Amino acid sequence: MAAEGEALTVSGYITHHLTNLTYGKLPAGFQRYDGSVVDEGGLWTFAHGGVEASAMGFAAIHVDSMGWSIGLGIVFFLLFRNVAKKARAGVPSGLVNVIEMIVEFVDNTVKDTFHGHNKLVAPLALTVFVWVFLMNLMDLIPVDLFPELLLALGVPYQKIVPSTDPNITMGMAIGVFVLMLFYSVKVKGFGFAKELTLNPFKPPSKGPLIVIAPVLIALNLFMEVVGLLAKPFSLGMRLFGNMYAGEMIFILIAALFSAGWLWLAPAGVMQLIWAGFHILVITLQAFIFMVLTIVYLSMAHEDH
């Protein structure tokens, strides 16, 4: 499958499936894919290809990633709300039993990992785990299903796995990072500044070596800030990298179906095998994102 104006090649197929539906403003004078030139004042439109998406700059938005992630968040909210209304005393059954198992699992993980006192952490951990899992779960839907259906309606691109978009994963990671900073300042106060400047090398407070104290403080601050900033990057990029690689493998296997009838059976078997293995991957990645969120917030609450 290829979008309008693209050759039906393996390269074009892969590029198409890895392109987000992007909306933004093209600058004045930009030459579009069809040869037309954007008038003065620019043009707000959907991008046709990566070149137009890049020209839109920072103000562009990935409509598909935002739509699917918000939609899955609503599904999570409505599903758990419905189960909470149905929950009764006694032995649960069906969906209620599954949801209660998930809640209990997350609650036990928080109790084992988080050592502070904060009523926000457990609900946040549950939200992170289920939301990321639902976004990852979209990777098991056949890669051509929604792009084909929406292409027939005039939508040129459609990526339905939000966690394969670094904007989504890094956005979530930055949200966790903001909470880390907030609670670090709230719990530790000025002690947070001391934590950044007096560790790991303790500057001397007296004696002839006091002259090197500013150097050690600057070195400590540099090392601690780098380590602090590495947390959201590792959190967001780990999830993105694993899910992007998984999606790429699904796309490459799907491309084999166009290689001839001899490849139909092997490609189908490979799809099933990778889908079965990927169930473990998507669950593990949701779990890791949740655990790291709990650990980082626990570190923010540790006041020595």
pLDDT tens string, the chain, 304 residues long: the values are 444 444 467 888 888 888 899 999 999 889 888 888 988 888 999 998 888 998 998 889 999 999 999 999 999 999 999 888 877 766 667 788 889 899 999 999 999 999 888 899 999 999 999 999 999 999 998 888 888 888 888 888 999 999 999 999 999 999 999 999 999 999 888 888 888 888 777 777 776 767 677 888 889 889 989 999 999 999 999 999 999 999 999 888 888 877 777 878 888 888 889 888 889 999 999 999 999 999 999 998 886 6
* CA dihedral sign of residues 125, 282, 243, 52: negative
Pair 246, 290 in one domain: yes
Pair 99, 233 in one domain: yes
Pair 216, 165 in one domain: yes
**Among 59, 91, 108, residue at a domain's last position:** 59
**Per-residue model confidence (pLDDT) at position 8:** 61
**Per-residue model confidence (pLDDT) at position 1:** 45
Pair 146, 215 in one domain: yes
Pair 169, 226 in one domain: yes
Pair 14, 106 in one domain: no
88 given a catalytic annotation? no
Pair 227, 214 in one domain: yes
234 given a catalytic annotation? yes
Distance from C-alpha of 39 to C-alpha of 32, rounded to nearest angstrom:
11
Structural domains counted in the chain: 2
**Per-residue model confidence (pLDDT) at position 91:** 64
Pair 231, 101 in one domain: yes
Q: Assign 206 to helix, strand or coil.
A: coil
**Per-residue model confidence (pLDDT) at position 172:** 95
Q: What share of the chain is helix, strand, coil (3-state, %, to 5)?
A: 70, 5, 25
**Among 15, 43, 59, residue at a domain's last position:** 59
| Bridge partner residues of 44 (DSSP) | 25
Distance from C-alpha of 180 to C-alpha of 197, rounded to nearest angstrom:
18
Pair 179, 240 in one domain: yes
Pair 79, 157 in one domain: yes
**Per-residue model confidence (pLDDT) at position 7:** 46
**Per-residue model confidence (pLDDT) at position 258:** 76
For 98, residues 6+ apart whose C-beta sits below 8 A from its C-beta are none
What pTM value is reported for the model?
0.88
Pair 108, 2 in one domain: no
Q: Quick check: 285 and 239 in contact, CB under 8 A?
A: yes
Q: How many helices (H) and strands (E) does the chain have?
A: 10, 3
Pair 231, 112 in one domain: yes
- The two structure tokens encoding residue 147: 């792009």
* CA dihedral sign of residues 20, 25, 27, 28: positive
Of 54, 82, 108, 234, which residue is the catalytic one?
234
Q: Which domain holds residue 10?
A: 1-59
Of 54, 238, 258, 298, which residue is the catalytic one?
238
Of 65, 69, 220, 242, which residue is the catalytic one?
242
